[in-house]
Amino acid sequence: MKVIKLLTGRPLPQALSVEELETPTPGPGEVLVRMHAASLNYRDLIVAEGSLSGAQQAKPLIPLSDGAGEIAATGEGVTRWREGDRVVGSFFRDWLDGRFLPKHMQSALGGAIDGVLAEYRLFPETALARMPTHLSFQQAATLPCAALTAWHALFEKTPLLPGETVLVLGTGGVSVFALQFARIAGAKIIATSSSDEKLSRMEQLGASGMINYRARSDWDQAVLELTDSAGVDQIIEVGGAGTLQRSFSASRTGGRVSLIGRLTGIEDRVDPRPIMAKGLTVQGIYVGSVAMLERMVRSIEASGMQPVIDRTFVIDDTAQAYAHLKAAAHFGKVVIEI
């Protein structure tokens, strides 16, 4: 079988190599999945640069956490799946349900353990969810990380209520999914972007307030202008240290800030006083469990939601797919067909 490997100590694209390995056979409790598509996340750039903390990163490694495919063979004792079932992998192989524990970190695909950029991959039968029936493999491959993270932030802690207002930062994978889920829940959405063209696409997807954060570096004030000075109920905080202060400022009193990303880096001074003064809830979100993935799949099916794919590459053009994500010209998800 063909696999892509990410090699130690080399920059992209030289770090990527195509290898032929023997197709594995599933052992007891395992299934062999014929992977049909994978998708890229910002994290995959961090992994390729070698800047995930050492404990979280195996090298060399088959990259990418997100993939969809069909069951090709089942091992002894497998009861959940049959040959031909269409499935998505869980970002954390071992976080099945309940509270996130440090040991789950050691089971993150495409980081601590091999990922999905291979023609075949073995999974424990518990580490998969069925694909939403209306989606293609390419669409389903966008779900395990970005979509589940947005879903977790909006619904798995304090669920978003119809009529609440959500602020999404930028138009990458997590933020576009957050917009789509928030719309399904009957919320209002304010979106920021560096691009007016991308903002008009957010409007087409249902955003009612649009702010160009390049034109308005005081985008938190723009959010307050759009909300009669009240601020928003929930923020999908993918920016990190460089946006967090303005996110506190754009929150309404009692609002929730889901701390998800680090697009602007991790080292900056943040004044925590607004958390106390405004009674904010700041909640860290780390993708999600298999049980959350299953709940999200049900919701996507019930709503008929269609993931937004920016561009699809073939596996031989994996290096171009990474370069496309790095250029940040994309809107939504970047997919690789396997």
| d(C-alpha 140, C-alpha 85), whole Å | 13
One residue of 12, 96, 319, 328 binding ligand NAP per CB under 6 A: 328
Q: From 7-15, 19-27, 48-56, 188-196, give the range in contact with ligand NAP by CB under 6 A.
A: 188-196
Q: From 36-44, 109-117, 122-130, 154-162, give the range in contact with ligand NAP by CB under 6 A.
A: 36-44
First to last CA, the chain: 11
One residue of 35, 38, 39, 41 binding ligand NAP per CB under 6 A: 41
Q: From 12-20, 24-32, 190-198, 300-308, give the range in contact with ligand NAP by CB under 6 A.
A: 190-198
Binding to ligand NAP (CB under 6 A) within 255-294 occurs at 260-264, 285-287
| d(C-alpha 238, C-alpha 260), whole Å | 5
**247 near ligand NAP (CB under 6 A):** no
CA dihedral 148, 259, 42, 11 (to 10 degrees): -140
Helix, strand or coil, per DSSP, at residue 178: helix
CA dihedral 121, 110, 49, 316 (to 10 degrees): 30
Helix, strand or coil, per DSSP, at residue 290: helix
Query: In this structure, which amino acid lies at residue 208?
Result: S
34 or 43, CB closer to ligand NAP? 43
One residue of 32, 131, 146, 250 binding ligand NAP per CB under 6 A: 146
Query: In this structure, which amino acid lies at residue 308?
Result: V
115 or 261, CB closer to ligand NAP? 261
One residue of 111, 144, 239, 307 binding ligand NAP per CB under 6 A: 239
Residues in the chain: 338
One residue of 192, 227, 234, 318 binding ligand NAP per CB under 6 A: 192
Is beta strand 251-259 parallel, antiparallel or unpaired with respect to 232-237? parallel
Cα-only R_g, the chain: 20
120 or 322, CB closer to ligand NAP? 322
**318 near ligand NAP (CB under 6 A):** no
Residues 87/69, Cβ–Cβ less than 8 Å: yes
252 or 262, CB closer to ligand NAP? 262
Q: Is 33 exposed, middle or buried (0-12, 13-18, 19+ CB in 10 A)?
A: buried
The contact mask relative to ligand NAP for 116-145 (x = CB under 6 A, - = no) is -----------------------------x
Which residues, other chains included, contact 102 with Cβ-Cβ below 8 Å and sequence gap of 6+? none
| d(C-alpha 199, C-alpha 193), whole Å | 6
By beta carbon distance, the residue nearest ligand NAP is 172
Would you tell me which residues interact with ligand NAP (CB under 6 A)?
Answer: 41-43, 145-146, 149, 169-174, 192-195, 198, 213, 238-239, 242-243, 260-264, 285-287, 325, 328
